[in-house]
Structure 1
Amino acid sequence: MISDTLKRVMQKEGVVAIVAQGKEFPCVVNTWHSYVRLTENSLIIPVGGMHSIEEALSRDNRVLVTVGSKEVEGLHHMGTGFLLRGNACMIEEGDAFTAVKENYPWARAVLEINLTEATQTV
């Protein structure tokens, strides 16, 4: 699911936008590429705030995520981005939380996004 191109994008610093469905309007939060750990099919993200996403996920766990870098070769030229779809949950205990907390003492939780689709957009 996570291609080599997506891995290269995530090695460059950039913004990660995470979108969930709020009560009446989409909810968007951001983090940095350097905070995200990739596993085979998921993103593991330390959470400091993100209260609005947490509340939205309690009703609908589907998320959209965008990432990109102008420093990675894309489909037609330098610069590429991805639209990721997945299901997310907040983790506040256990091995995944402990591992993240060691690197990011400020983390109050972990956002785990299990990817269902990854589309290179440019």
Structure 2
Amino acid sequence: MPVAGMHSTEKDLKVNPNLILTCGARQVEGFNGYQGTGVRILGTGRLVNEGAEFDEMKTKFPFLRSVLELTVTEAKQLL
């Protein structure tokens, strides 16, 4: 995930790498035919500032200063 700001998240990750990420989309049908769904993703994260993956992301997103690498341990659909 491209990171441009997120300075407080960077400080937090140094103390505790555990993350909870939630996201949603109206275009994906949820449970019981609801319009939209959400997902909760649990995992650990670290910021990457160099290497091949960083260079690839930097060409796609020139504004980024680092890349958030997320290792998923659990993902659950919420709606």
TM-score of the alignment, normalized to the shorter chain, above 0.5: yes
TM-score (norm 1): 0.62
Larger Rg: 2
In the alignment, which residue of structure 2 is the partner of 1:84?
Answer: 41
Structure 1 residue 84: Cα displacement: 0.5
Runs of 4+ in 1 over 6 A off after TM superposition: none
TM-score of the two chains, using structure 2 as the length reference: 0.95
Structure 2: give runs of 5+ residues left out of the alignment.
none
Secondary structure at the residue paired with 2:23? Answer: strand
Q: Which residue of 2 aligns with 1:72?
A: 28
Give how far 1:106 is off.
1.1
- Aligned-residue sequence identity (percent) comes to 38
Structure 2: how far apart are the matches of 1:91 and 1:120? 28
Counterpart residue number, 2:2: 46
In structure 1, C-alpha distance between the alignment counterparts of 2:17 and 2:54, rounded to whole Å: 19
1:46-83 alpha-carbon deviations (Å, 9 max, x no partner): 11111100000001000000011122111112210001
Q: From the two aligned structures, give the one with the greater helix fraction.
A: 2
Higher relative contact order (CA 8 A, sep 6+): 2
* Pick aligned residue for 2:53 from 93, 96, 101: 96
Count how many residue pairs are aligned between Structure 1 and Structure 2.
78
Q: 1:118 aligned to 52, 75, 79, which one?
A: 75
Deviations 1:7-55 (A, max 9, x none): xxxxxxxxxxxxxxxxxxxxxxxxxxxxxxxxxxxxxx11111110000
> Does residue 1:107 correspond to 2:40, yes or no?
no
State how far apart, in whole Å, the 1-side matches of 2:31 and 2:49 are: 38
Q: Name the aligned partner's letter for residue 26 of structure 2.
A: K
SS at match of 2:62: coil
